A and B are shown apart, each in its own frame.
Chain A
């Protein structure tokens, strides 16, 4: 029954989108990485979003409990897709047949993902700002 639960939900979304941006920037930075400490090329990082009520479940009315959900990133997992094999015999990591295992990251996919994350971030910032405006308006009752 308060405006702060709204802001907490949006804050959880902002955090999740930022973690997603971190994963995207990590993927873009390592788009040509063929060596990693675990061996093999870099594996694309993917974030898993899950709806949750962490942080505000105790302030919800009993009717809203279960209906209102925030979001959290439960894990950032490395993709299990097989890497792209590129023919490049002069590459230091080329195997016997001249094939190099490159990370399975498509630049345009990552850029599109980044735009979507950025739009979602902006949308949640708008929610926070409008919730704050509503609360300030409530303070004007009787001014």
Chain B
């Protein structure tokens, strides 16, 4: 009997409509933050792996010269890319702050 009352008012559906959804801008913000975090972790990983390869070459554990040079180059490029991304983000922020409302 209580079920039929609930069906008539459809309050379940109304409740779902009134919950505040996270706005698209906020979602983008979270995704961008996570993307930055993961890319930071990746850049750090590339640096560590390049360091390991350099130590292996120095101690003679491996003689794979081109492998180590490639890992170093990957670490370098990923670092530069991340710094440029950060610079662009800071510029965009400053641009927005300059806007006169």
Which residues of chain A have C-beta atoms less than 8 A from B73's C-beta?
141-142
Which residues of chain A have C-beta atoms less than 8 A from B65's C-beta?
2-3, 135, 138-139
Q: Are A141 and B64 in contact, CB atoms less than 8 angstroms apart?
A: no
Q: What bracket does the count of chain B residues touching chain A fall in?
A: 10 to 19
Q: Are B69 and A142 in contact, CB atoms less than 8 angstroms apart?
A: yes
Q: Are B64 and A139 in contact, CB atoms less than 8 angstroms apart?
A: no
Q: Are B63 and A59 in contact, CB atoms less than 8 angstroms apart?
A: yes
Beta-carbon contacts under 8 Å, A1-26 to B: 1-4
Shortest distance from the beta carbon of A11 to any chain B beta carbon, whole Å:
15
Q: Are A3 and B63 in contact, CB atoms less than 8 angstroms apart?
A: yes
Bound form: Cα–Cα A72–B73 in Å: 40
Bound form: Cα–Cα A139–B76 in Å: 15
Bound form: Cα–Cα A138–B65 in Å: 7
Other contacts beyond A2-B62, A138-B65, A142-B72: 13, CB < 8 A: A1-B67, A2-B63, A2-B65, A3-B63, A3-B65, A59-B63, A135-B65, A139-B65, A141-B66, A141-B69, A141-B73, A142-B73, A142-B76
Of the A-B pairs whose beta carbons lie under 8 Å apart in the complex, a sample of 21, sorted by A's number, is A1-B63, A1-B64, A1-B67, A2-B62, A2-B63, A2-B64, A2-B65, A3-B63, A3-B65, A135-B65, A138-B65, A138-B66, A138-B69, A139-B65, A139-B69, A141-B66, A141-B69, A141-B70, A142-B69, A142-B73, A142-B76
Q: Which residues of A contact B (CB under 8 A)?
A: 1-4, 59, 135, 138-139, 141-142
Q: Which residues of B contact A (CB under 8 A)?
A: 62-67, 69-70, 72-73, 76
